[in-house]
Amino acid sequence: MKTIVVIPSRYGSTRFAGKPLALIAGKAMIQRVYENAASASDIADVIVATDDSRIADAVKGFRGKVMMTSPANRSGTDRVAEVAEKMGLEQDDIVVNVQGDQPLLDPRCLEDVTAPLGMGMPDAGCEMTTLAFRIVNEREITDPKDVKVTFDTRGFALYFSRSAIPYARDPGIRFDTYKHLGVYAYTRRFLEIFRNLPRGKLEEIEQLEQLRVLEYGYKIKVVVTAYDSPEVDIPKDIARIEKVILEQALHGGRISAGSSPLQTVAEWR
């Protein structure tokens, strides 16, 4: 059994065209995501999956691995599945899907997301996992671009939403709210199941493809990680990301939930 990382990357974006190639502290965003993923332990390979030659050329330029995928793919998951198929992965191999707009990706979170699938023994029959981070910036609770997740006592996802969940009916109730991070892991076997499921109604409403899994009765194990991974959604986010990179350099490494500089990440927007 081996683990590979696939980073689906597309050039077109309604809010930020060419986002993967945007420079962040002197490096293209896709390069930062790639290099961070490649530094994770126990990863056999990292591949960028794209249908755009400009992105492919950029990846080759920093000596990364890239695979051209069909423009007919309906989602990043389909692009990831195409790579797994072309590579001829075994059914129990683990495929990690890292969204390409997370330049602060901490490689340690990849260890977190794959842990329940390790040793070829998926946790309680679950063959898909994802990450959550306890929200420390209250703005993220109500911002629809920050997806929230709730999960049961065993850590399996109950729902993902752009709305604040759970919602306290009565004032004064204190509880943690968790943000969903754009990192998934699947067995190759389940990735094939996922890619062949029809789009779901909840998926259409929220525009969250992971809801397709829940709608059809499958499980997603949610792993709470100590490492936040803010996404770049619009051009003005870049300056804030660069500020965090500078803070990380000043503190000699990455910033985790247990580190005092976390507010730099938490307040980066």
- Residue 220's pLDDT is 97
- Residue 119's pLDDT is 58
pLDDT at 88 over 60: yes
What's the average model confidence in pLDDT over 54-75? 94
Q: What is the pLDDT of residues 194-228, one digit of tens each?
A: 999 999 999 999 999 999 999 999 999 999 999 99
pLDDT at 262 over 90: no
- Residue 16's pLDDT is 83
Secondary structure string (H, E, C) spanning the chain: CCEEEEEECCCCCCCCCCHHHCEECCEEHHHHHHHHHHCCCCCCEEEEEECCHHHHHHHHHCCCCEEECCCCCCCHHHHHHHHHHHHCCCCCCEEEEECCCCCCCCCHHHHHHHHHHHHHCCHHHCCEEEEEEECCCCHHHHCCCCCEEEECCCCEEEEEECCCCCCCCCCCCCCCCEEEEEEEEEEHHHHHHHHCCCCCHHHHHHCCCHHHHHHCCCCCEEEECCCCCCCCCCCCHHHHHHHHHHHHHHCCCCCCCCCCCHHHHHCCC
- Residue 122's pLDDT is 61
pTM for the full predicted model: 0.90
**Among 13-22, 84-93, 140-149, 192-201, which stretch is predicted with the lowest mean pLDDT?**
13-22
Confidence of residue 260 (pLDDT cuts 50, 70, 90): very low
More confident residue, 248 or 161: 161
Confidence of residue 50 (pLDDT cuts 50, 70, 90): very high
Best mean pLDDT range from 13-27, 42-56, 105-119: 42-56
Confidence of residue 251 (pLDDT cuts 50, 70, 90): confident
Please give the domain boundaries of the chain with CATH numbers for all domains: 3-266 (3.90.550.10)
